[in-house]
Structure 1
Amino acid sequence: MTGRRAAASFTRAATVGKEWIDYNGHMADFAYAIAFSETVTAYMDAIGLDAACRAATGSTLYTLDMRTGYLRECHEGDALSLTLHVLEADAKRLHAYLEMHNAAGTLLAWNEQVLLHVSQAGGQPKAAAFPAEVAALLALAVSDSAEILPLPHIERRIGLSRS
């Protein structure tokens, strides 16, 4: 993992494929989850929790909680930019905030996740501390992400207002 670096944010590109389009002619809700999940996997690769690490250690990330806010529609062929920020991390967990923008820079959706580092060695999944180098990268990413806080929409409780 030497030479890896945590940045204030991690960004990857994607394109809305035909298989992501629903009967309404726009990107389906499941496709947003796939796009955000693939971004988390790409981030894992960037910080050293890649396929080689997973094979060697039997460890990975499990999603404990996830919430998505849908703001604008996406259509087949649209170019997307997905950005991940690490808001918090402790010895075993990380709190990630992701945004999806179109080519014009318009925010299309946001996603919030809490992920748990898990060891699957021995056949029974068990929470495990991040490797030291990964923990150090996450700590840097947390300090770099402080500039985007607060995020009022992720502080809001989900539900119907009673007026």
Structure 2
Amino acid sequence: MTDRRAAASFTRKTRVGREWVDYNGHMADFAYAIAFSETMTAYMDEIGLDAAYRAATSATLYTLDMRIGYLRECHEGDALQLSLHVLAADSKRLHGYLEMHNAGGTLLAWSELMMLHVSQAGGQPKAAAFPAEVAALLDLAVVDSAEILPLPHLERQIGLSRT
């Protein structure tokens, strides 16, 4: 289990690999999702929902919804820093917000996601409450993440205006 600050202000560094580059010579849309998903998995490990937890409990997080905003291109070899903030959490769900920056600090992309804690024990996946220690860390992370709100781009809907 991690300390309070690490759970509240989680960051991860990576680089754009060759396998993430598309025919246009920049990072493909699917690769942004991979980078964000890998960051969420690393956060799970940090707060105690790691491989040992999954093996012992048959419980994990499922992604219910994910949205990505693409702002700038990335290229092979570019250094990336991803940060995760917990915007809200209840007994079974986590509402997360992630940002991807380059080495110069420019925001390249963001992702909003909703995760559900699921027990797979008994063969049928079923929503389950977080362990008390994890719930406590998530509650603290929500308080510490409040400083980044509001995020106007999260309020926008996808669609075309009708005139």
2-side partners of 1:84 and 1:21: how far apart? 23
2:14 is matched with: 14
Partner-residue secondary structure (3-state), 1:154:
helix
2-side partners of 1:25 and 1:32: how far apart? 14
Equivalences for 1:1-163 in 2 at 5 Å? Answer: 1=1, 4-7=2-5, 8-163=8-163
1-side partners of 2:158 and 2:140: how far apart? 30
Q: CA deviation at 1:162?
A: 2.8
8 Å contact kept, 1:6–1:138: no
2-side partners of 1:155 and 1:122: how far apart? 39
1-side partners of 2:88 and 2:158: how far apart? 21
2-side partners of 1:29 and 1:131: how far apart? 34
Stretches of structure 1 lacking an aligned partner (at least 5 in a row)? none
8 Å contact kept, 1:21–1:27: yes
2-side partners of 1:89 and 1:6: how far apart? 15
Stretches of structure 2 lacking an aligned partner (at least 5 in a row)? none
Give aligned-pair identity as a percent: 81
In the alignment of these two chains, the number of paired residues is: 161
1-side partners of 2:34 and 2:20: how far apart? 9
Task: Tell me the TM-score normalized by structure 2.
Answer: 0.97
Partner-residue secondary structure (3-state), 2:4:
coil
Q: CA deviation at 1:73?
A: 0.2
Q: CA deviation at 1:102?
A: 0.2
The Cα RMSD (Å) is 0.8
In 2 relative to 1, CA 38–150 (structure 1 residues): closer, same or farther, beyond 3 Å?
same
Q: CA deviation at 1:158?
A: 1.0
Partner-residue secondary structure (3-state), 2:54:
helix
